[in-house]
A and B are shown apart, each in its own frame.
Chain A
Amino acid sequence: MKTQEKIKYKATSNACKLCSPLGASFVFRGIERSIPLLHGSQGCSTYIRRYLISHFNEPVDIACSNFTEETAVFGGGANLKLAVENIIKQYNPELIGIATTCLSETIGEDVPMILREYNKEKFGENFPEIVSVSTPSFSGTHIDGFHGAVRAVVDSIAVKKKISTKQINIFPGMLSPADLRHLKEIVSDFSTDYVILPDYSETFDGPLWTEYQEIPEGGTKIEKIASMGDAVASIEFGKILAGEESAGKMLESQFNVPCHSLGIPIGINETDAFLKALETITGKPVPEKYIQERGRLIDAYADGHKYVFDARAVVYGEEDLVTGLASFLSEVGIIPIICASGGESGLLRQKILDIIPDAENIGIRIIEGADFVEIGEEAKKINPDFFIGNSKGYRIAREMKKPLIRVGFPIHDRLGGARIIHVGYRGAQQLFDIISNTIITTRQDTSPVGYTYM
């Protein structure tokens, strides 16, 4: 108990993080004909559904095992099985992704054991795959739930059939549907076979329906996940993730699939690294289209460099997103003066220092385990030029009368969160234009003259 006494307790005020079952729900939504099932209270699924709906503006069906008082006392096995049966009857899925919650974890539910006899062998070929992941909300954040679910899916489905293939496994992390579409385009342009997991590019950003869809079309095909053990390589985005036992590393250790751990490809430097990895793996040169895109991007950097140089930005969000944005901002001369995340991997400081070695000398504050009250207090000390992150920073930005450039998740106060491209030269181009124009707008609006040329 002694160690307990030493801990200095502090409430979290306006959290800069979400709970881990939300991240797992993202992943299960990104598999073809799959539906997420949360093992916990009805509120867990409803709150997460509402949170996702407000960002994506898409129907999001997440089932729940609906704990009651009796369940909490006697265990949730019966409820979980009933939930699985009812999901099959209503949705006829090919995969049910079960994520635990703080409630089921606290009472010590052993989901794999409950489900041991619930499988295809017993119920026949039409019975869905069931994947479960442990996502207690008292440990880690939504991004841990996300990566945990990717790993759990790969762990239970991927095999090595020793088939010769040119397939590349892509583990993009928690990006936007537009990012996923762009990544697929890039990899396709290398004329190679690939599988991307998860792929919610259609399931979270689809057209109106001609016929009712119980589960929206799209998502990673289960047979493609099964073939991951035969891939020639994996590419995994996330420098923080690289410090963990990830899906890519698991495939490397189990099936000898080499894993390329890269930062999220935001900006030229990180996108170059990504394309270089694709060149290395496929043995093919970067397609002309991307050389052109890169050229136009550098041209844009040249046109706008003076407006952004030495501007100071408050950056917040998931640790890997913050790291990626910091890399992009610093390559155009913007100082990510505050780099904050609700995540607590303990790696953020080092990853920022890897990108900006003199970060501490130029006064960059790196805050791990941050909440928005803390970010606000720090921001007020340094008078930044703008904020960049999800829409939850709006309160502080408004208070400080500074622009907020919305990226990442969630974006609850604007349309089009699903359509933002962060990655690749194209993503950098969009980010650079938005940031430059935001700074130009501020100058124009506060100028007594109001120049009509830049």
Chain B
Amino acid sequence: MTNIPILKEREKQIYHKGEGVFDLTCDTKSLAGSVSQRACVFCGSRVVLYPIADALHLIHGPIGCASYTWDIRGALSSGPELHRMSFSTDLRERDIIFGGEKKLYASLVQLIDTYRPNAAFVYCTCIIGIIGDDVDSVCKRVTEEKGIPVLPVHSEGFKGTKKDGYKAACESLSMLVGTGSIENIGKYAINIMGEFNIAGEAWTIKEYYENMGIEVVSVFTGDGRVENIKRSHGASLNVVQCSGSILRLAQIMEEKYGIPYIRVSYFGIEDMSKALYDVAAHFKDNIGIMKKTKEIVKNEIDAIYPDLVRYKKALSGKKAAIYVGGAFKAFSMIKALRSLGIDVVLAGSQTGNKDDYEVLRNMCDEGTVILDDANPLELSKYCIEKSADLFVGGVKERPIAYKLGIGFCDHNHERKISLAGYSGMINLAKEVYSSVLSPVWQFAPKKHNAEMMK
């Protein structure tokens, strides 16, 4: 045990499987002073739209929000890289007093003339509504003058949680969808949604689908292009990964264009295969697709299986803590780590909902700690108490793991190594192996280990 204190208000967001009634509080705003690992509404919008590589992303507000999100995601592009630039209206005191509309207008005109983007997104940060800027009408004016879509993103940081930012981004995207031509789109066409091409993951996934005989109209938003988004309503199925981030757009497209959606995950052999089979099953009138899918799955698994067995042997019996943004990723990670012989002792997410946590509880072993919107102290406490050997999370969790002498695997949007698909499963195994079994931990003063040996 540790003596790390847990705030009373936070206790309802922590559950030990097997103890008491399961009634986890979630989907709430973060507690002041708790040091949540979450970011804000703006962050939610920014991560969803970020990979659209031929669009201008202009952040309207003082400088911080633009500085901290410059080149922040490992979302790759096969062509233009405008998304890797950071543009800000850089509002100053005088703009706060007189309003930022003129500066926004001038910035848009200047940047569009310089970089010739195919669309522009204007992200509203915290103070934009407060100083009374009419961003919608500035965007409308520039759209007319410059002949490209200029879309406001209502992502004021304090107006909800990261999830509300996802919604705001989806609403902006929905203004683009349906504005392009759907000529020449075949019958077996899908959109890949909630796949951000981190380390080229979308390319891997797209290749699987194309080899199955399925056309990919648009990826939302990995290696994204405005033109593809405009014609994405020509697809006959939306395949949605990353539950929270893009689901709203899939729902809008279902209402507006009657395009059904299914939810998938590309992490781990089990979920990856299920995704391909589910998509193939959707196009059941074409038995060739299912046939090819079976071949692909078999070949891919055969290719990685020997390596996987080797890693599993080395990693069997290790214990992992998982803390990620969306709960869907946690489900996949539990399965993927189990396939490596690793037990999950802590599982949590920033933005899971009631249904997500119900699934999570059913998946987890007895004694696993389930956390919603956790903070560094809670994560540390349970890593120590559960003697975790591995932490799967993002950059903010990495130093917590290392300070405690625990291995770490980056599964967030800054990762440079593809973890999706079958090849991604081997990369995951390698990543985990190279951290958990590193000899450097022999020097770590791991208190919990010492105590356990007593």
Known: A12-B66, A102-B127. A43 touches B32 (CB 8 A): no
29 contacts between A and B (CB under 8 A): A11-B88, A11-B89, A13-B85, A15-B70, A18-B67, A37-B33, A42-B39, A42-B158, A43-B43, A50-B68, A54-B395, A56-B399, A57-B398, A62-B35, A63-B35, A65-B33, A66-B31, A66-B33, A68-B159, A69-B159, A90-B34, A90-B377, A101-B126, A102-B127, A136-B93, A209-B403, A210-B447, A392-B70, A395-B71
Q: Which of B88, B91, B107, B443 contacts A15 (CB 8 A)?
A: B88
Extra pairs beyond A19-B64, A82-B33, A139-B93 (8, CB < 8 Å): A11-B111, A43-B39, A66-B33, A68-B159, A86-B33, A138-B62, A208-B403, A209-B445
- Residue B384 at the A interface, CB < 8 A? yes
Do residues B29 and A68 form an inter-chain contact, with CB atoms below 8 A?
yes
Do residues A11 and B158 form an inter-chain contact, with CB atoms below 8 A?
no
- Residue B400 at the A interface, CB < 8 A? yes
Who on chain A is nearest to B56 by CB? A11
Do residues A58 and B126 form an inter-chain contact, with CB atoms below 8 A?
no
Per-residue contact bits, chain A 1-32, to B (CB 8 Å; 1 contact, 0 not): 10010011111111101110110000000000
Q: Which of B35, B61, B93, B111 contacts A61 (CB 8 A)?
A: B35
- Report the minimal beta-carbon distance from B327 to chain A, rounded to whole angstroms: 19
Complex alpha-carbon distance, A75 and B66, angstroms: 26
Complex alpha-carbon distance, A136 and B96, angstroms: 11
Known: A9-B103, A15-B63, A107-B130. A47 touches B158 (CB 8 A): no
Known: A66-B31, A210-B447. A22 touches B102 (CB 8 A): no
Kindly specify which of B2-10, B19-27, B171-179, B295-303 makes contact with the partner chain.
B2-10
B88 — which chain A residues lie within 8 A by C-beta?
Answer: 11-13, 15
Do residues A45 and B396 form an inter-chain contact, with CB atoms below 8 A?
no
Complex alpha-carbon distance, A68 and B157, angstroms: 9
Complex alpha-carbon distance, A45 and B384, angstroms: 25
Complex alpha-carbon distance, A46 and B10, angstroms: 18
- Report the minimal beta-carbon distance from A125 to chain B, rounded to whole angstroms: 20
A161 — which chain B residues lie within 8 A by C-beta?
Answer: none
The B82-124 residues at the A interface (CB cut-off 8 A) are: 84-96, 98, 102-103, 106-107, 110-111
Complex alpha-carbon distance, A246 and B35, angstroms: 31
- Report the minimal beta-carbon distance from B136 to chain A, rounded to whole angstroms: 19
Complex alpha-carbon distance, A64 and B127, angstroms: 17
Do residues B40 and A46 form an inter-chain contact, with CB atoms below 8 A?
yes
Summarize B's interface: helix, strand, loop or mixed: loop
Do residues B444 and A208 form an inter-chain contact, with CB atoms below 8 A?
yes
Known: A41-B157, A43-B157. A65 touches B32 (CB 8 A): yes
Complex alpha-carbon distance, A86 and B377, angstroms: 12
Do residues A208 and B402 form an inter-chain contact, with CB atoms below 8 A?
yes
Q: Which of B43, B70, B381, B395 contacts A212 (CB 8 A)?
A: B381
Per-residue contact bits, chain B 48-72, to A (CB 8 Å; 1 contact, 0 not): 0000000000100111111111110
Do residues A45 and B92 form an inter-chain contact, with CB atoms below 8 A?
no
Per-residue contact bits, chain A 86-103, to B (CB 8 Å; 1 contact, 0 not): 110111000000000111
- Residue A44 at the B interface, CB < 8 A? yes
Known: A10-B106, A107-B130. A41 touches B158 (CB 8 A): yes
- Report the minimal beta-carbon distance from A9 to chain B, rounded to whole angstroms: 4
B398 — which chain A residues lie within 8 A by C-beta?
Answer: 53, 57
The A185-224 residues at the B interface (CB cut-off 8 A) are: 208-212, 214
A83 — which chain B residues lie within 8 A by C-beta?
Answer: 32-33
Who on chain B is nearest to A373 by CB? B85
Q: Which 7 pairs across A and B sit closest by C-beta, in order of nearness?
A: A43-B40, A19-B64, A86-B33, A83-B33, A11-B107, A41-B157, A9-B106
B84 — which chain A residues lie within 8 A by C-beta?
Answer: 395
The A205-257 residues at the B interface (CB cut-off 8 A) are: 208-212, 214
Q: Which of A17, A46, A209 contacts B63 (CB 8 A)?
A: A17
Who on chain A is nearest to B97 by CB? A4
Do residues B65 and A47 form an inter-chain contact, with CB atoms below 8 A?
yes
- Report the minimal beta-carbon distance from B59 to chain A, rounded to whole angstroms: 9
Complex alpha-carbon distance, A91 and B33, angstroms: 10
- Residue A59 at the B interface, CB < 8 A? yes
- Residue A165 at the B interface, CB < 8 A? no
- Report the minimal beta-carbon distance from B318 to chain A, rounded to whole angstroms: 19
- Report the minimal beta-carbon distance from B374 to chain A, rounded to whole angstroms: 12
